[in-house]
Structure 1
């Protein structure tokens, strides 16, 4: 259908902004915020009753509606006055609920009028941000968006009335054919109608020509926030201030040391003037029946993060079709995938470079690379982005700080190795040998006999990483890995407690709407032991098992594909060494001088290219497979997807390294009896082993991966952002581009998997730092340098390139911790085997133990072979000798046969003994570390117990006070005659009693008896007495 189809334009509603003068005073488009007043007014007029029985709040609401319909010129001034009056009445009604009779453990605010004037710092929600610009608008008194307690004068963050905040934005583009079809219009109509039926307020912004971008602003009113805060079991701040800490004993010396240390740390801690320290407030799971326990008057109660999360929850579960047969006709995600909508996102709270917003403050004081040595304002990051992203940056910062001691120790080991490099006796022997030692050819036909002296440089470099410090550093890193995980659990417990996530259970999460849709026709149910609700049971044989088998089969196939790639690279190395390329080079060139190093470097680069290509294939297939597995919650879905992709990436990144470390050169045979693969001789190690090649492979893949990932991660969001801007320029759009919702549309969608590549990169890096650290002691240093920049670049990217993500609630880093723990255990095994079988440490140790010195050690490790036993001979050679040397412990027996010598078995026994001792010692150290460092500090454990006791005491005290203060209302039977009065003498007396109550007494009595004033007037809230939302 063309964009100019007149029939389509007749169906599309005219935009609200087409006649802005009607937006405020036209009864036809009255917004739902006053729906209750309209119903109440009609009820009064129909029944002929007076307003004498109404509360002050309802009388204000009626007057407010009359002003709204009559178009009073002083509407906004009267609105401000009425809102102030209603706030006073609310404070009066709540004030009478409290008594000063709790223990001194609680510092309870008894006066809500004081609570309403508390600053952001006092309520624990952050600083009150300065205004970014003067408010010159005369049509409203308060253009504001509450962001962590700060009131920002930003009209583009609110509806046209200047009061209701924009909590979410939907966008559709009339220029797209899919979005302008009649089916798309009907789907939008049904979807938006369902949103309004749920209680959300919608306001539409459209261009005058109707062919550009259409924006639908969404606001969650108080009633929706209350309903869904209870459904989502959100923990909300209670109505008393911070719990007082128990007095501690003082020590003058320790106090002086603390002051001295604080003075030093003040240079790297966050500026307390910009980011005031948060006071931990006691929280409880929100309940409308117990709302008197919560500090609902605080600006920090329903923060923008909570509001956007609630709206997202509704958007994900509302249907866009009335057809009963389409079980998947729900959710904004499917509408976006079908191009019915172009985007759905919450708004940033301001511009990057305009002071007065939390976004600007975080961008300048947190995301700047110049602040890389400072701590992160994690509480403010959590409040702006949500717990999930806040916990990622907390983990990344903790991991980066833990890399400092590992980097220092690794650097010291390398410096020591460099200082003693030229005093290493075996290296000196290799470099001082003349041409008297000829080595056997390393390949067939095209490789000649070569001098041992040619490996002088390689021997020197190998010593940098293969010496006595290697064992020490490997043991240290195993100890470090254990400490890192244990200390992280301890630190994570503190963070989750501070962020009100203690006791959060994944089974409290609501099922994914896609999960429920696929089980819509399943009749069998099972009881959720956590929530107590019945949920569909997944058929094992018909759905669960086939999906699991498919996932296993495809993942196994992809693993084999990665191994086949490694095999291909091995064949490349073998064929390159067997080719004539090295003989055709200048004899003085590096390629001809050290063909093994050249081959290793080029093979590592080729392997890195294949790794980057397979990354995208793995992630695409893993997401499709996980969708088939019927995982109940988003956390379970993310964990399963993470395990699949990490397993594939583990093989992808580490397979070639495992090959060099444990297989290369171990099964090559000997001169005259080489073991061949596809007719080619297998790769051999140099006389000093494959340790140098392993170090080269590690350095290239680790550093190269980090460099490529950094470039891709930083360039792609900016490129996508610029592409969106270019596309926006081409659109014919009359809406101001300076509005916040238009600017944010030009940014990149964060998506559900926005954090996955960040975690994956860091966990793969952690594998390089731990699993193979014995071969590359500089790995922690390179990781530290990368992470210091990565932390700030990620922050800058999230703030400047991405739309604001919807906050998610998690209590830990999920399955990533189990992966890290598994990596730590694997690293003990790998490092032990690398030292024992890949490095030259054990053979040197055995030789020195018997000879007392390393003199003639190199010659001891070589075996002389008669050239007549060689299967092939070089095509071109100048060597006329009868013997050539070959690395390994071999002995010549009768019958012209070579067998492993006794030294081979002595060294092999020493290698195995070292592995056993190393594994047990390190495992014992890790057990001691985990025993010595509890998962939660005693102070935190006592604090949690004390807070639980105080909260229970407060709830019991408040319940007792309300039960004593409330007025009993017996025989509450409502009339069905339509006049709103109860029947019977008792009911009439009760009604007269209620009508005589003041506003505060009426509120207290109604709340105490669970009586809603709207029941008395037969005015029903849009959300009242409704069944739970679909797919909750």
Structure 2
């Protein structure tokens, strides 16, 4: 038996749409810009909207809100520059709402039936009908074949979209898009506080420039000019003087100072305040957008067409549904997990490759930037050091690798998520969120983790260095000014590059594609280029449009929280980016993409848990950065315990922090660089040659290590205690919102009761019963509604 053709499917589907009450209007294909495309316009009359609003339990106003608005946040004036003025927003009166009941339509505040339901509600109702309307006959054997998504997938229709219009943003695009922009706006407002404090800490580093005693010693000819450092690689590197790192030492001080510790602690508290205040803001939006009971509605989500198509098995339960056999599900999950691990391993392999590049290229830079062969002591130019040159080039290469891997993995992540056949759209999105974020986390942050926690930590000492790949490449050392400046460089290049590239890609790519797609329409008069044709030529936003927007912002959130101790200006860069981002996103949605189908969402979903996890992890990473990446703790230990003069200053710190090595023990491959140099210095705390504990760690090393561990424990406990105390002190739902929810539920019950009483009186009056001797006084223990039923 032959199945229906595409034309027959369209005819049956459109006939079924008309049967449920929708009005269809078909444009002649000869009037389209290509002369081939039919446009079918769908209109939903009041009866259809009212019927399905009743089915979907859409909340609509029945009474003006009589509770004063106390929703202003503390210090709200600071965020005023980010808020749109009222003459642009056109705020509407606040109402108490109740689920719509078609049989009680006169109970609700219906001033105009054409505007009573918001644009997003009309959009959602029509899409609800389209997704459930069938396109089959029993004789075809296509039972359960229904929905516009399947018709789009099998080519029956080429596109389905609502037309652009002008209205309130969240009511126009739906709550799911509205909650994203609300979150992005709130995040940007909160970034203002972090940016101000971070800028102050950076300015503090500049203002205390002249108090930097250790940099003065490094740059001075008396100290840094007379300290000869051991070669930083085995074959091509010569000896070098400490004062060649003068510039990087001064640059490091701008980020590695006392303000760094304060800012790291501040950001641990800031991230808690951000998440807690967002929960309150989200609770307020849930009430204002009638999403308080949305969880119940979410359980009734439509199955994905792909799930229904691929899962042909059926099993009986409370609701007969298609299902995926457990063996197939396990096999798909295993293959998916193995694929994710394979790609994460690929990222790690790329990072190891970049590390190998750093080790190999450093030797090349060091051999180029050396002095004449008479002294064999390397003197580097005043602006560029081998460390800086290697760090910048390696960071740029790493950024390019990140972008390439992102493009490849996005396709892989979608493919393996499709392969798992998630049941609902929510489950599909959550699975994709986990895969993409896990990949992006490793991809974007692994290089920063390497510089922060591994570089310079496993070096060894002259004569007994640690090597990567056997004896080929010696492990990288930190600059005498510390690894923090390299972490800052890495963070700036990756974070700034991602944000600039992301904004260009978001704005330029859809604009170019739309320009290319609509180039033929430019030959037609404007009167022939209709609104629906213009929208058809725009890009499709897709189900995962918001997913990529959230992912971009969450990755940025990781940069400004996980490694912010190394770069206090990160929140300022994020703030500037987000001011541009929110406008680019709005412009893109309204002008470059088709209007998406309105969808509900009461929160930012799985991203909330990811943000919570990153907030906790950020406390740990910043504590470790201050303790092990910066030189803050060694300096404090020296000042309070090892200053020879007993004074509270940093004089003599550089000489104290460098160990001495007798170059006669250096391998023959390096001895050829030896001229009149007998001793060289290296960055560590070890006993000198000839000591009974030769080249083993000194007691100062263990004191510093103990101080670092104590710092981590104290800071983590202090910040976590403050975080939990702040979270406990700030309720997730504002008191006025709780009061409004309770009052709304009370008024719904009371007003419906009074409505039924009045309706009953009218009915009794019309039936000639003008008196009812039954009163609540006769039955004092019986509720009013039961008394009324007995009177009836």
TM-score (norm 1): 0.68
Paired residue for 2:498? 705
Paired residue for 2:29? 207
Matching residue within 359, 364, 381 for 1:579: 364
Matching residue within 488, 498, 508 for 1:695: 488
Q: Does 1:343 align with 2:159?
A: yes
CA contact (8 A) 2:459 2:476 kept: yes
Most deviating of 515-524 and 616-625: 515-524
Provide closer, same or farther for how the CA distance between residues 509 and 588 of structure 1 changes in structure 2, counting only shifts above 3 A. farther
CA contact (8 A) 2:61 2:97 kept: yes
Distance 1:267 1:694 in 2: 33
Provide closer, same or farther for how the CA distance between residues 868 and 265 of structure 1 changes in structure 2, counting only shifts above 3 A. closer
Paired residue for 1:171? none
Matching residue within 453, 461, 466 for 2:256: 466
Provide closer, same or farther for how the CA distance between residues 582 and 384 of structure 1 changes in structure 2, counting only shifts above 3 A. farther
Displacement, 1:434? 4.7
CA contact (8 A) 1:728 1:746 kept: no
Q: Does 1:570 align with 2:355?
A: yes
Paired residue for 1:456? 246
Displacement, 1:324? 5.9
CA contact (8 A) 2:280 2:733 kept: yes
Displacement, 1:536? 2.6
Paired residue for 2:772? none
Paired residue for 2:129? 314
CA contact (8 A) 2:238 2:367 kept: no
Please show how residues 327-476 of structure 1 align to structure 2 within 5 Å: 329-349=145-165, 357-358=166-167, 380-432=168-220, 433-476=223-266
Distance 2:613 2:738 in 1: 27
Provide closer, same or farther for how the CA distance between residues 526 and 921 of structure 1 changes in structure 2, counting only shifts above 3 A. farther
Displacement, 1:184? 3.1
Paired residue for 2:782? none
Distance 2:261 2:591 in 1: 45
Paired residue for 1:885? 681
CA contact (8 A) 2:150 2:305 kept: no
Paired residue for 2:666? 870
Structure of higher CA gyration radius: 1
Distance 1:932 1:541 in 2: 45
- Per-residue deviation, residues 352-411 of structure 1 (Å, max 9, x unmatched): xxxxx54xxxxxxxxxxxxxxxxxxxxx21122111111111111111111111111111
Paired residue for 1:921? 718
Please show how residues 95-110 of structure 1 align to structure 2 within 5 Å: none
- Per-residue deviation, residues 312-360 of structure 1 (Å, max 9, x unmatched): 22333444454766578544334434444332111112xxxxxxx54xx
Matching residue within 738, 742, 745 for 1:945: 742
Matching residue within 839, 844, 854 for 2:635: 844
Matching residue within 292, 296, 305 for 1:502: 292
Structure richer in helix, relative to its length: 2
Matching residue within 514, 518, 530 for 1:725: 518
Distance 2:381 2:28 in 1: 67
- Per-residue deviation, residues 167-197 of structure 1 (Å, max 9, x unmatched): xxxxxxxxxxxxxx99432333333233333
CA contact (8 A) 2:29 2:39 kept: no
Please show how residues 455-534 of structure 1 align to structure 2 within 5 Å: 455-505=245-295, 507-514=298-305, 517-518=308-309, 521-527=312-318, 534=319
Displacement, 1:225? 2.1
Matching residue within 445, 459, 476 for 1:668: 459
Paired residue for 2:51? 227
Most deviating of 809-818 and 535-544: 535-544
Provide closer, same or farther for how the CA distance between residues 195 and 842 of structure 1 changes in structure 2, counting only shifts above 3 A. same
Displacement, 1:262? 10
Paired residue for 1:792? 583
Paired residue for 1:294? 108
Provide closer, same or farther for how the CA distance between residues 869 and 333 of structure 1 changes in structure 2, counting only shifts above 3 A. farther
- Per-residue deviation, residues 282-330 of structure 1 (Å, max 9, x unmatched): 2222333444433455343223322221222233344445476657854
Distance 1:619 1:925 in 2: 38
Distance 1:915 1:735 in 2: 67
Distance 1:780 1:849 in 2: 33
Paired residue for 1:242? 64
Please show how residues 963-982 of structure 1 align to structure 2 within 5 Å: 963-966=760-763
Displacement, 1:549? 1.9
Distance 2:389 2:365 in 1: 14
CA contact (8 A) 2:304 2:425 kept: no
Most deviating of 852-861 and 708-717: 852-861
Please show how residues 540-939 of structure 1 align to structure 2 within 5 Å: 541-579=326-364, 582-583=367-368, 593-678=384-469, 679-728=472-521, 736-850=527-641, 851=643, 852-871=648-667, 873-874=669-670, 877=673, 879-892=675-688, 897-939=694-736
Provide closer, same or farther for how the CA distance between residues 326 and 596 of structure 1 changes in structure 2, counting only shifts above 3 A. farther
- Per-residue deviation, residues 38-73 of structure 1 (Å, max 9, x unmatched): xxxxxxxxxxxxxxxxxxxxxxxxxxxxxxxxxxxx
Please show how residues 48-87 of structure 1 align to structure 2 within 5 Å: none
Distance 2:577 2:353 in 1: 31
Displacement, 1:746? 1.8
Displacement, 1:672? 1.1
Provide closer, same or farther for how the CA distance between residues 516 and 313 of structure 1 changes in structure 2, counting only shifts above 3 A. farther
Provide closer, same or farther for how the CA distance between residues 519 and 945 of structure 1 changes in structure 2, counting only shifts above 3 A. farther
Provide closer, same or farther for how the CA distance between residues 819 and 325 of structure 1 changes in structure 2, counting only shifts above 3 A. farther
Paired residue for 2:780? none
Provide closer, same or farther for how the CA distance between residues 590 and 195 of structure 1 changes in structure 2, counting only shifts above 3 A. farther
Which stretches in structure 1 are left out of the alignment for 5+ residues? 1-180, 249-257, 350-356, 359-379, 528-533, 971-1008, 1010-1032
Distance 1:338 1:709 in 2: 33
Distance 2:238 2:564 in 1: 35
Distance 1:308 1:633 in 2: 20
Distance 1:719 1:206 in 2: 29
Displacement, 1:704? 1.0
Aligned positions, number: 743
Displacement, 1:709? 0.5
Provide closer, same or farther for how the CA distance between residues 908 and 246 of structure 1 changes in structure 2, counting only shifts above 3 A. closer
Paired residue for 1:217? 41
CA contact (8 A) 2:179 2:604 kept: yes
Distance 2:298 2:316 in 1: 16
Most deviating of 634-643 and 691-700: 634-643
Please show how residues 124-163 of structure 1 align to structure 2 within 5 Å: none
Distance 2:405 2:287 in 1: 40
Distance 1:608 1:659 in 2: 14
- Per-residue deviation, residues 588-630 of structure 1 (Å, max 9, x unmatched): 8759940111111111111111111122222222222223334
CA contact (8 A) 1:435 1:451 kept: yes
Distance 2:142 2:355 in 1: 52
CA contact (8 A) 2:365 2:386 kept: no
Provide closer, same or farther for how the CA distance between residues 431 and 342 of structure 1 changes in structure 2, counting only shifts above 3 A. same
Distance 1:305 1:947 in 2: 23
Provide closer, same or farther for how the CA distance between residues 581 and 442 of structure 1 changes in structure 2, counting only shifts above 3 A. closer
Displacement, 1:866? 1.4
Distance 1:570 1:622 in 2: 27
